[in-house]
């Protein structure tokens, strides 16, 4: 069924509404993180300050999610119908969208999630320090560069890959096409499409990181025996293994439909919706809940180091698998290693008041 103006309007308004909700959630979590950080420093809650370690990387994860969400607005048919841009600008915008989202924002999202989950397993190497935050940010950009370079090369060499001047190979258009010219209600626009080669590269990248994230999740589950905390870990693993493959599948299927058909708009929206759900779940589990649970313990001051830790863990209901020494047993068996306390409270703490 061909597109009419009503169809892109409907999908466009729904997409913009969801993007606004994601941005609002992200900004609230950023403000909440800054509030908690300043709260810990001003009131000298040193025990709670121990769990604020990767707060910069958490905020970075939100910023990548917002970057991706804003990029999704620029690919919309509604945006093109309302912006009044000429066809050349619309085509260049589609190329920028592929490089920005598929080559930068999405790989950085996956990498940041990996580092956030890896942090609790690397406590002995200083995962709570400011140096760790800086190094992790640098590694994220460094590891993303190959993906960015590949996607940029594919976009810039689109004509050569299609058999144009100076070409050395000839591929069918769906493998390299970044846009398609269509007519919607007598207005000619360039709709963004997803090159199959770009999608395959992103899919391979996501598959490798998903496998590694599955291994990280299993390692974290070995440290967590509280059922409430286990549910959070399982929820995060489920979101990674369901939403990411679903997005890649929808992007691949979109090349089978013409850009001027409703099926293409529906597949593009489902691809957007899958990663939107992934971002919401990840931000909630890795940013909001850790800060919220730590704030629930803000009444605990640093009266006595050992007693404060014992009370903190007693209130948090943290039941850990740590090997305990004699000092730990004297504190009612509630103390655990720094690595395990971080896993419980920094990622998936369920505070019991």
| Domain residue ranges in the chain | 6-278
User: Which pLDDT belongs to residue 191?
Assistant: 86
Mean pLDDT of the chain: 76
Question: pLDDT, tens digit, for every residue of 218-272?
Answer: 888 777 667 777 888 889 889 999 999 999 999 999 999 888 888 898 999 999 9
DSSP 203: H
- pLDDT of the residue at 132: 77
**To 10 degrees, what angle do helices 55-74 and 6-43 make?**
160
Residue 66 pLDDT exceeds 90: yes
237 vs 114, 117, 155, 244, 281, CA distance in Å? 12, 11, 33, 11, 10
Q: 93-102, 195-204, 230-239 — which is least confidently predicted? A: 230-239
pLDDT at residue 34 tops 70:
yes
pLDDT tens readout for residues 179-189 = 888 877 677 78
Q: Which two tokens stand for residue 322?
A: 């740590």
The percentage of residues in the chain with a pLDDT greater than 70, rounded to a whole number, is 69
Fold of 6-278: Rhopdopsin 7-helix transmembrane proteins (1.20.1070)
pLDDT digits (tens, 9 = 90+) for 141-163: 999 999 999 999 999 887 777 66
In the chain, which residue ranges form alpha helices assigned H by DSSP?
Answer: 6-43, 46-49, 55-74, 77-83, 87-97, 106-118, 130-156, 158-161, 173-176, 196-223, 227-254, 262-283, 289-295, 305-316, 326-330, 338-342
Res. 68: pLDDT tops 60: yes
Per-residue confidence (pLDDT) for residue 44, from 0 to 100:
53
pLDDT at 78: 75
Q: Higher confidence at residue 295 or residue 313? A: 295
Burial-class residue 107 by CB neighbours within 10 Å (0-12, 13-18, 19+). Answer: buried
Question: How high is the pLDDT of residue 246?
Answer: 95
- Span 102-125, average pLDDT: 83
């Amino acid at each position: 069924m061909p597109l009419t103006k009503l169809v892109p309007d409907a999908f466009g308004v729904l997409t913009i509404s969801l993007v606004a909700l994601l941005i609002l959630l992200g900004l609230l979590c950023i403000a909440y993180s800054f509030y908690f950080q300043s709260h810990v420093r001003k009131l000298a809650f040193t025990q709670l300050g121990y769990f604020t370690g990767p707060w910069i990387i958490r905020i970075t994860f939100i910023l990548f999610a917002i970057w991706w969400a804003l990029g999704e607005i620029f690919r919309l048919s509604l945006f093109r119908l309302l912006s009044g841009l000429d066809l050349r600008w619309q085509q260049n915008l589609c190329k920028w969208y592929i490089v920005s989202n598929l080559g930068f924002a999405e790989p950085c999202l996956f990498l940041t999630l990996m580092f956030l989950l890896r942090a609790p397993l690397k406590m002995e190497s200083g995962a709570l320090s400011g140096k760790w935050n800086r190094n992790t940010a640098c590694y994220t950009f460094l590891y993303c560069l190959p993906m960015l370079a590949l996607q940029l090369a594919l976009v810039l060499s689109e004509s050569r890959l299609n058999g144009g001047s100076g070409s050395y190979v000839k591929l069918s258009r769906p493998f390299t096409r970044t846009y398609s010219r269509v007519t919607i209600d007598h207005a000619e626009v360039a709709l963004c499409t997803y090159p199959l080669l770009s999608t395959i590269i992103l899919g391979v990248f996501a598959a490798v990181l998903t496998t590694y994230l599955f291994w990280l999740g299993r390692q974290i589950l070995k440290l967590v025996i509280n059922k409430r905390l286990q549910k959070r870990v399982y929820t995060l693993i489920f979101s990674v293994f369901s939403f990411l493959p679903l997005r890649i599948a929808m992007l691949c299927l979109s090349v089978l439909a013409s850009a001027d058909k409703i099926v293409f708009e529906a597949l593009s929206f489902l691809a957007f919706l899958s990663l939107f759900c992934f971002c919401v779940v990840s931000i909630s589990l890795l940013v909001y809940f850790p800060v919220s649970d730590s704030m629930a313990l803000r009444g605990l001051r640093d009266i006595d180091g050992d007693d404060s830790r014992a009370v903190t863990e007693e209130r948090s209901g943290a039941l850990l698998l740590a090997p305990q020494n004699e000092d730990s047993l004297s504190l009612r068996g509630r103390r655990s290693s720094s690595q395990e306390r971080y896993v419980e409270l920094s990622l998936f703490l369920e505070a019991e008041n």
